[in-house]
Structure 1
Amino acid sequence: MGSNGVGKTTLLKLLAFELLPNEGVIDTDLTREEIVYLHDGNILDPNLSAKEHVDFLISFDKINRQRLAKLPYLLEKMKLGAYYNELTSALSLGTVMKLTFLLFWLQEPKMLMLDEFFSGIDTSGMRCIVDLINEMATEGTIILFVTHVDQNADLLAYRSVQICK
């Protein structure tokens, strides 16, 4: 947790190998492919549907098959079934964020980093995502969640760190 401008996003970008440190070293056993960094922007290809994104991941054998079997249930639970074949460019930000989370959840990352991720996501979608994140943590996934909103921190924090300037 921390207020705006203290470096929360910069820290996550360093850990995700999206930025190089000016000095020092980031030492991890994880590779870039094992780390998922989700932020509040749209990272999906706007010219593809959610189904086409899933098919793309399947073609590269990037999806956990047991999780894929749960996808129809989760699409309905998160009220996304009607949007599965729609281009992501036609969807609301909250809908895109829920689909983005599910796409990366299917890949079973070793580390999941969420940067102010719940912006625009409805309450039922947030509950479902929190349940999936807690399930991932139980399975051994490292979860880093960055926020400046106390209520969001209370949803996921097993341990809380306050970052100050």
Structure 2
Amino acid sequence: MLARFDAWLAQVQDATRDAAFASGDRAIAIGFVLRQAREADAGITASELAEMLVLAARSIRRGLDLDDDETQRLFGLDPGSTLDALRAVPITQWPLLTVERVIILMENVTLAATLLSNVERGCAWFRKPNSASITAGRSALAVMLEEQDGVRKVRDYLRSEVWG
């Protein structure tokens, strides 16, 4: 992952987090975040990384006003599992889907907040039915919950709206 990021870094002139995410390449975007984390704290542990992801997921849960069922489905958690229960599990044993979903949902919330110029409006947008081509009159949250690739579909839509 860092090798791909390093190759990208050598090719771009403005290596910002936004540029890394705009590349559309997950390895580049995560590589950028990982490199920044290591620059800030070279000794960051796997448990600290897990704690950061749990905190991000809990913030998303609050912002989108998710109930327990929506939380489990949206984050790819096993039935009956909770975000807080992940704290007791080494990140290397987390479901890959959960790690991926937290990262994509962080981006989705950030993009919606950027598009609507406000975090609260951005979070509210996910629950409102809308006429975007991807939603067919449903809410973005419904798309993310009901479609297997819904989280990515919403991300791609938001990217196109924000970045053109």
TM-score, normalization by structure 2:
0.40
Higher helix share: 2
Higher strand share: 1
